[in-house]
A and B are shown apart, each in its own frame.
Chain A
């Protein structure tokens, strides 16, 4: 039995390869950034018009709201589940059979590849920060403590995103088509995560729905920690507990689905 420590070099190699692949598609990277920046500019115009001349609504000042929206949309770039596309492509090409017989487990391979692909997006997001500042608004974090808590919360949000990505990717084992699910997910996370409208402005029914979905833990919670909206120890503890709950719950579901997925996989041309 090979331990996880022996597999680490393999995982890091996979992640680095995926990083290179991501970086080599520069024009599609830039295109992706432009789309996000356009969305931020649009949201700024719409929110500014909605606020009209009111300095604040429900205790939220316009610049704070714009910081929230800007950071939420930039951060969503990092949460993009590239492995959904990757799994679907491997299944279409029949190469999933090769992946399955490799000496490191498939779920681990996919995880490493997602991490590599995300690493490729980091420079893009950093490049977007000054532009987002101009097109939207970005204030600094609420406090040094908030910065640390934000980074921890962002890491948990990322884990949740990868787990949801794996789950959607595994759908392709049954339907050979998971792309659509991935696209619909990207819109759902924007809306129910609070990247277009902060959740406190939601009407009660939608708010209730947003509260039971995992998207809040991926978008709204880390950004609220950054802006200081979540800062009291009890609130912070509650926020981290909710994120941890989703990590554990999704990990269990992924493990369970994976057990069945292995039996039904279709290998094209095999």
Chain B
């Protein structure tokens, strides 16, 4: 509990320091919105012309898209600094996390907050809200609770992939391009009903690079589309738990690999 309080305090400090750079804040949010806006404009124009995508209407794809963005923002809250892990390990700046009485992983991830998550969150909530209106989904207390857990679970899955790739940095001193690549795969492929990618890729995206858990599986559960799935519908309902399992594995692997950290200047 004390660990959690320290983590929260560190995160808040990181967030405040980022907000000091006003022009940057504005531009970075605009950049995130431009990136996500372009992707969504594509979906919107395409589906206005072609009615449906593998049986998903514009409203349903937008629902999935918005959910994915919200989860991406949440993953950014948990693991945003991952993109600077390589440079901090190379320069030896990672030393400082080993000196304080809090998990190095937690200290590293709470050092600062990438402001682009605000752009993702704004875009995601807007798209999700409009989509929800369009398809007129009937929410129950259970489905709202499931949605919250699914967002957290999805963020844990996306964050775990980042941490697992990042863990390689301690031995190889390089991970950044792989982290960017994984991010690019998530940003491109997780926004769509995975049935359009064929059977093999669906299994890959469920068990190897588990981006199905980020938004697609929860969306099939909420939209009552689990009949589309190649895998058992149980996976869709268990999506939040899968996030916890991946996070546990990621933390264990990270802490194990951390022993290979050599600092700089030897």
Contacts and interface: CB of A to CB of B under 8 A. Distances in A.
A202 interface: yes
Interface stretch (A15-23, A98-106, A181-189): A181-189
Contacts of B46: 46, 50, 197, 201
B30 A184 contact: yes
Contact of A35 (B23, B184, B198): B184
A28 interface: yes
Interface in B1-35: 23-24, 27-28, 30-31, 34-35
Interface in A173-197: 175, 177, 179-180, 183-184, 187-188, 190-191, 196-197
B65 to A, nearest CB: 12
A183 B188 contact: no
B184 to A, nearest CB: 5
B42 interface: yes
Contacts of B50: 50-51, 57
Interface string B44-57: 01111110011000
B42 A180 contact: no
Nearest to B174: A27
B91 interface: no
Contacts, number: 75
B45 A46 contact: no
A34 B181 CA distance: 8
Contacts of A203: 45, 48-49
| A interface secondary structure, majority | helix
A84 to B, nearest CB: 13
B23 A175 contact: yes
A31 interface: yes
A269 to B, nearest CB: 20
A49 interface: yes
A49 B196 contact: yes
A27 B172 CA distance: 15
B38 interface: yes
Interface stretch (A6-14, A37-45, A224-232, A253-261): A37-45
B185 interface: yes
Nearest to B198: A45
Given A35-B184, A42-B189, A201 B34 contact: no
Interface of A: 27-28, 30-31, 34-35, 38-39, 42, 45-46, 48-51, 57, 175, 177, 179-180, 183-184, 187-188, 190-191, 196-197, 201-203, 206
19 contacts: A27-B177, A28-B177, A31-B180, A42-B189, A45-B192, A45-B196, A50-B46, A57-B50, A179-B27, A183-B31, A183-B35, A187-B37, A187-B38, A188-B34, A190-B38, A191-B38, A191-B41, A197-B46, A201-B45
Interface of B: 23-24, 27-28, 30-31, 34-35, 37-38, 41-42, 45-50, 53-54, 177, 180-181, 184-185, 188-189, 192, 196-198
